Chain A
């Protein structure tokens, strides 16, 4: 069963706009991670946020975590065409820290 669920499934915006993707999960976690996948390629790690953190930044990326709502959001500011990709959240669980579970992903398209 999927630990993480993402929405929207697909998002299309204009270059320069901000993109927000959301991830919800079901059980207690140690950390939550976001990955990017360009078409036909492997996933690339973007950012990790631990369960005791509420917000984290990395360049144009901002991740928030609300453990009371079991949800996270990924914000990409000032989007570029190169940001076109699928974005996945991944969570472990307190019971299974070695079993990283991925959501179904958000397909982001940046229009020039």
Chain B
């Protein structure tokens, strides 16, 4: 099993550009989520999904969109990139959706917005 796969690993954007960070899992997990990690801030939840067609906001959702058309995929869209979105982004999934236990993380996407 590949687990949780994130692409790309690195990305540089100019302010105002849009892009999509891809996340796919092959473990048939119902729960998927996106976090951003900034120095000294730990990980902060952006959006999450408890199943196909169901998404909800986390702590820092502004400037990001998500959709969940299949169980496997959970892309994160930056609508108009800003320097404040420079961060490392992690996708994570879990088998359980009612209480989140044992998250499996991808290897991350390092994003720089100039």
Contacts and interface: CB of A to CB of B under 8 A. Distances in A.
Interface residues of A, number: 25
Interface stretch (B64-72, B73-81, B96-104): B96-104
Interface stretch (A54-62, A63-71, A94-102): A94-102
Interface in B17-65: 31, 33, 35, 40-45, 48, 50, 56, 58-59
A45 B102 contact: yes
Report the interface size class on chain B. 20 to 34
B101 A102 contact: no
A101 B92 CA distance: 13
B42 A45 contact: no
A55 to B, nearest CB: 18
Contacts of B58: 99
A45 to B, nearest CB: 5
B100 A97 contact: yes
Interface in A1-55: 2, 4, 30-31, 33, 35, 40-45, 48
A43 B100 contact: no
Ordered nearest first, which 3 A-B pairs have the shortest CB separation?
A: A42-B105, A102-B43, A104-B42
Interface of A: 2, 4, 30-31, 33, 35, 40-45, 48, 88, 90, 92, 97-105
